Amino acid sequence: MKITRLLQLWFVLCLLGCTGTPAVPTSAPTTGTEAALTPAPTDFSDAESVGRAFLDAWGNGDTARMYELLAPSLRAGLAAEDFSQAYRSAQSTATALRVRTEPHQLGLENTTAWIDFTAVWETALFGELRAENRLNLIKESDAWWVDWRREAIWPDLAGGYKFAVEYQVPPRANIYGRDQAALAALSTIVTVGVVPERIENEATLLANLSIALAMPQERIQAKYAGQPGNWYIAIADITSEQSLAYDGLLNTPGVERRERAGRFYPENGAGAHAVGWVSAIPLEQLEAYRQQGYRDDALVGISGLEAYAETVLAGKNGGRLYLVDAEGAYARGLVERRPERGRAVTATLDRALQVQAEKILAEHSGAIVALDVNTGALRVLASAPTFDNNIFVRPTETIQRQALLNDNRRPLLNRATQGTYPSASVFKIVTLSAALETGLFNTGSAFNCLGYWDGLGVANRKACWLATGHEDISLLDGLVESCDVVFYEVGVALDSKDPTLLPSYGAAFGLGQRTGLVEIPEVAGLMPTPQWKFDTYLESWTVGDTVNLSIGQGFLLVTPLQIAEMLAAVANGGTLYQPYLIERVEAGGSQPEQVTQPLVHGRLPISDATLATLQQGLLAVTTQSNGTASHRFAGLSISVAGKTGTAEAPGPTGKPHSWFAGYFPADKPEVAMVVLVENIGEGSSYAAPMFRQMVEAFYGLPLTPLPEIIEVTGD
């Protein structure tokens, strides 16, 4: 006994004065009973070394190393995978993200030892959990090993107890439009199904379900035909409101309804590209969501505002961590955390206007974008063809989802922010600005248009959209009448001064680059430059490239959102505001209300005089008899300034893209808007009439019918 006490005293002195790192068994067997033990010194410092190595490995998530340090007699009856699973299961159930251990002191007694330590678990659901614990050690064959018990994971797990967790999931908050109409709302989804053996009259059942579910009888029957009679076969999902409306029909023998909390997108998914949708957690993201305290079966935002504002809308799960015995019976509670409700998001979109824009685009492919000229708030962000985002939250609509994914019209593509197109004559706004700012031209500079242009040689003759020509015409009227010949000449002059000059103006107007919209994806497009062409094609820039760019053709690619931002800046006096989709997030818990403030990210590189000239010319486009769109806006009580565009574009129809970009009211601008319709025809014939309808919708005016017979009337 005296010798034992002297050894303990010596060990304590060594801990206080020694700075070296004790040796650790490095080649301990990992499985079975046949592996040889690693010889080790017999002093007691080895016990602490082994214990600390085990705890360090735990903090690093290295269960393989931990297993190596177990006593051989333990490893003989405990598989490495079972050992690792014991730690994974406990930590996963408790939603532990990280484990940290704080060793205290070593206790010694003959061939046994122990390290007292504090276990600190950082969990996603319960915050920081702490427990005082003990790691036992044993000496076998002159070496120290871990004498492991399950309670080494957590002291409450002694005696076969296990962790269990009960999640408390708050309801997902709504997304509203600026008009307070819901864009995404909490709802009850009712799955209507059939139990075949309960059917009394199949003809009646099929007739009733066909009405209630708006499905053909044969399709309903095919879903349960050949299935076991006592099975519940899901047929379709409907809303709780629809379930109540068809209550009588759905009470037919053989029909069974099952309810669950879900998400509902009104108006068949108004603004689907911007709002997005929720769905089951993608498998590759499951672990990341677990670490945020989500259940494996949670619905999460997959795209749009639903994804961007996920943490705001979902709130934070609460839960109760408790112990169950070996039979799974409740033993006692350990910790509980209350959930935090999600906070509602108000989008900048106006739902009624969004619905109207989608109706106007109808079956066409294209986009309508409307911006508040003084803030950058998006009032409308419509892309067509669109889709009903409800199909992503209704489990029974697998056929519709697959059809959507396989649709060659690419309805999931947000053409407003991800579609790229030549801007055509809308770019003449930039070209005119460069012409005036460089001093090479003034508004009265004279040109002559014969309907064609041979400035690059007869072999490279270029046509004006007006085959008969505009004859004598000024620079400003060139914008009003969209005369291509005027801008070909301007392009040559700008190129002679500096080939990079026109591309630099285009970039300064915000084209060929992202606008900074953060809530949903957008692409940059392309503002071609001499350096870009050389890097891409190993070819030099030519005057022809500048000439093409001067009328918005060639390599140029822009998004409708970029054009809308540019027109907003022309309307408001030259300020480029960063577009945004979230107007505010409501207060909740300890969080105050968040209101988005306008963010300036640039200014147009033009003088007030040039800006005034642009505004004058764009107003004349819709009001003067020689304006390319004046006939489309005749009689409209709201003044509009804007520019037509007809972009040459590849496609099966061979028809150009139709543009109209402008702002209104012209005398005191509030909204900048762009209408783009793919592969359809001239800007004045298609996009401009749609633009007029949208202006009328903004002010609650009767909509002017779209022209039935489309004629070539302007660029």
Assign residue 476 the CATH number of its domain: 3.40.710.10
pLDDT (mean) for 306-313 = 97
Task: Assess whether 149 and 228 both reside in one domain.
Answer: no
Q: Is residue 385 part of a domain?
A: no
Q: What pLDDT does 239 receive?
A: 82
- Residue of 509, 614, 599 lying closest to 562 (CA atoms): 509
- Average pLDDT of span 479-499: 98
State both tokens at 52: 């600390």
Give the chain's length.
715
* Residue 384 domain flag: no
Shared domain for 562 and 661, answered yes or no, is yes
- Two structure tokens written together for 680: 């359809």
Q: Examine the domain organization and report whether 141 and 256 are in the same domain.
A: no
Please tell me the predicted confidence (pLDDT) of residue 3. 38
Q: Do 486 and 570 belong to one domain?
A: yes
Q: Give the domain range for residue 186.
A: 175-337
Predicted confidence (pLDDT) per residue in 190-216, tens digit: 889 999 999 999 999 999 999 999 899
Q: What's the mean pLDDT when you consider all of the chain?
A: 91
Q: What's the pLDDT score for residue 471?
A: 96
* pLDDT tens digits, 314-328: 999 999 999 999 888
How many other β-carbons are positioned within 10 Å of the β-carbon of residue 81? 11
Cβ-contact 310, 297 below 8 angstroms: no
Q: Give just the sign of the alpha carbon dihedral 566, 568, 572, 578.
A: negative
Q: What is the CATH number of the domain that holds 105?
A: 3.10.450.100
Phi, psi of 496 (to 5 degrees): -65, -35
Domains in the chain: how many in total? 3
Look at residue 712 in the predicted model and tell me its pLDDT. Answer: 57
Mean pLDDT (whole number) for 558-582: 98
- The per-residue pLDDT for 1 is 40
Indicate if 241 and 326 belong to the same structural domain. Answer: yes
Residue 673 Cα distances to 74, 177, 372, 576, 659, angstroms: 74, 18, 9, 14, 11
Q: 186 with 123, same domain?
A: no
Helices (DSSP H) in 454-539: which residue ranges? Answer: 475-480, 484-497, 501-508, 530-537
Are 492 and 458 in a shared domain?
yes
Tell me if residue 188 falls in helix, strand or coil: strand
Model confidence at 536: pLDDT above 90: yes
- Residue 709 pLDDT class (50, 70, 90 cuts): low
Q: Are strands 175-176 and 345-347 parallel, antiparallel or unpaired?
A: parallel
592: left (phi over 0), alpha (psi -120 to 50) or beta: beta
Domain boundary among 156, 186, 211: 156
- Residue 312 counted as domain residue: yes
User: What six digits make up the tokens of 338?
Assistant: 């209350």
Within this chain, do residues 146 and 247 fall inside the same structural domain, yes or no? no
Residue with tokens 């190596």: 68
CA separation for the pair 537, 576 (Å, rounded): 32
pLDDT band at 398 (very low <50, low <70, confident <90, very high): confident
With H, G, I as helix, E, B as strand and everything else as coil, classify residue 627.
Answer: coil
Residue 42 pLDDT: 42
Query: Are 484 and 599 found together in one domain?
Result: yes
